[in-house]
Amino acid sequence: IQVMGASAGVICILDLERQELYSAAHRGLSPAIIERVRLQKVGDDPVGSEVVRTGRSVVIADAFEDPRVAELCRQEGYRSTISVPVKSEGRVVGVLALASRDEGAFGEASIRLLERIGQQVGMAIEKAMLFREVMQRNRDLTALNQVAAAVSSTLDLEGIMSISLDRALELTSGR
């Protein structure tokens, strides 16, 4: 944010299945905007929706005059904004947005830099999601192994059913 001369910024991650953007990190935003970007449908944010749909950056040099953001930007005092796609392997996985109190604050150099940052953030998000999936699979396999061990170690049907139910509950409670 400081390097770009911006006043505020947010990184939102895309939940493609639910068609929602949710805030993963933010700086310099008012409580009203934080609540607004915490979780929103993609279609509720015309700029974010354009970035997600097209995979291209949206720069608004005079936010007071752009009907997509004018009302909110006037309330908050932001004169210009930039929203860039956060991409991983060519897919949009989120949006990085900055706002400045200066009109025309984001030029070509800013766009290129932020798009590179968006790519780096996208790779980090992808790695975190893959790690989460691997951890979940490990938990699943551990539970299956525990059930298999219980089945092979005893002929006590009640004990087998109890252990199986415990593992099934463990696996489904975190989802």
**pLDDT mean for each 10 residues of the chain (175 residues):** 76 90 89 84 88 94 93 92 93 93 90 90 85 85 78 75 81 64
Given this model, what pLDDT does residue 2 score?
58
- Helices (H), ranges, the chain: 31-38, 46-54, 70-76, 108-153, 157-173
How high is the pLDDT of residue 83?
94
User: What is the residue whose two structure tokens read 């933010």?
Assistant: 26
SS3 (DSSP) at 39: strand
Q: What is the pLDDT of residue 144?
A: 79
Question: What pLDDT does 112 receive?
Answer: 92
Assigned token pair, 11: 């990184």
Q: Tell me the three state secondary structure of residue 66.
A: coil
